[in-house]
Amino acid sequence: MATYKGIQGYSVQKLADDPTAADAVGQLWYNSGTGKFKISTEGAGAWASGGDINTERTEPGGAGTQGAGLIFAGEPPNTGKTEKYDGTTWTEVNDLLTVRFAPGGGGTQTAAMCFGGWPAPSVASASETWNGTSWTEGNNILTSRGRAGASESGTTTAMLFFGGNDPTTTFALTETWNGTSWTETADLNTGRFFPFGVGTQTAALCSGGDPALAITEIWNGTSWTEVAGDLNTGRNKGGGCGSTTAGLVFGGLPAGTAVTEKWDGTSWTEVGDLASAVRENVGIGTSSLGLSAAGGPTPAVACEEWNDPVYTNKTVTVS
């Protein structure tokens, strides 16, 4: 009878414990503790439950990564509450100075920004910076508005804010932040509010928006260009994260949805759904390690974590 060593040219490793699945993709080993042959596989991306936030809310802002996230603002009622995430648990920290919902936001857990928001116009121009401990008020955005897109991966010295609305107007406006002040720059080609916004100040993506748009535009640091890659499901009021070459959007309206789509720089592809349909949620992280937190229609505390790919150690069975 042929042996594995005879076929493959080497013997199977005997291990007391399984290795980390991501480090052992394609490998076969014998687990001496369980007496089973095992193999590690790589599968398509999927959502899994994360730790619940402390204050239920819809339409918060967010910043950071899957393992070090930050959320702030939201409603109802309108709130300035801020929470940070360590990959397992959310902890309440110091509140925003200006209570609001539907702001723009971005940065990291220790250096973030919150700007604009609703109710407009009373708070819609306020801009604040987070230093890891507390919020500090800075110079206002130039045009008061909320429900806009932002460069979620931007920094406290380089941020982008685009689209949005106030009680009477839908905007195509774009503003840039240099660490001190906001400057108006080139408009979106299609004015909209509640779009999905990801990327940085010099390379951002704006997709979707009210009313259930599918249009995608890319920012190159100077101007917006509409591209052929429309969303497969036109929508707004959802979460997004990532970059102009690897983006992720999930949830949204109309109707509230679990649909997740991934952007490869050219087109959108539908991937694994959220466990629960949601709208007015916030997105944090990357297209490989993403986070969806809060949302509606009933203000929620739920948090889901996106991992792509998913690595799994499996027992080898013989039939």
Per-residue pLDDT tens for 64-117?
999 999 999 999 999 999 999 999 999 999 999 999 999 999 999 999 999 999
Q: How do the residues of the chain divide into helix, strand and coil, expressed in percent and rounded to 5?
A: 5, 45, 55
- Confidence class for position 300, pLDDT limits 50, 70, 90: confident
Residue 6 reports pLDDT greater than 60: no
Say how many C-beta atoms besides its own lie within 10 A of residue 36's C-beta.
Answer: 14
The more confident residue out of 55 and 8 is 55
Residue reference for tokens 């959802």: 238
Residue 10: per-residue pLDDT: 53
Q: 229-288: per-residue pLDDT in tens?
A: 999 999 999 999 999 999 999 999 988 999 999 999 999 999 999 999 999 999 999 999
Distance between CA 254 and CA 213 in Å, rounded?
10
The more confident residue out of 135 and 297 is 135
The bridge status of strand 13-15 relative to strand 28-31 is parallel
Distance between CA 299 and CA 60 in Å, rounded?
11
Class of domain 46-307: mainly beta
pTM of the model as a whole: 0.91
Chain CA centroid to CA 42, Å: 23
Say whether 43 sits in a helix, a strand or coil: strand
- DSSP structural state of residue 146: B
Residue reference for tokens 């809060």: 294
The more confident residue out of 299 and 295 is 295
Residues 174-186: what's their mean pLDDT? 98
Residues 193-215: what's their mean pLDDT? 96
- Confidence class for position 11, pLDDT limits 50, 70, 90: confident
How much is the CA Rg of the chain, to the nearest whole Å? 22
Residue 1 reports pLDDT greater than 60: no
Provide CATH 2.120.10.80 ranges for the chain: 46-307
- Confidence class for position 298, pLDDT limits 50, 70, 90: confident
- Confidence class for position 121, pLDDT limits 50, 70, 90: low
Residue 4 reports pLDDT greater than 50: no
* Closest CA relative to residue 114, chosen from 197, 219, 99, 279: 99
Tokens of 185: 């720059």
Distance between CA 101 and CA 248 in Å, rounded?
22
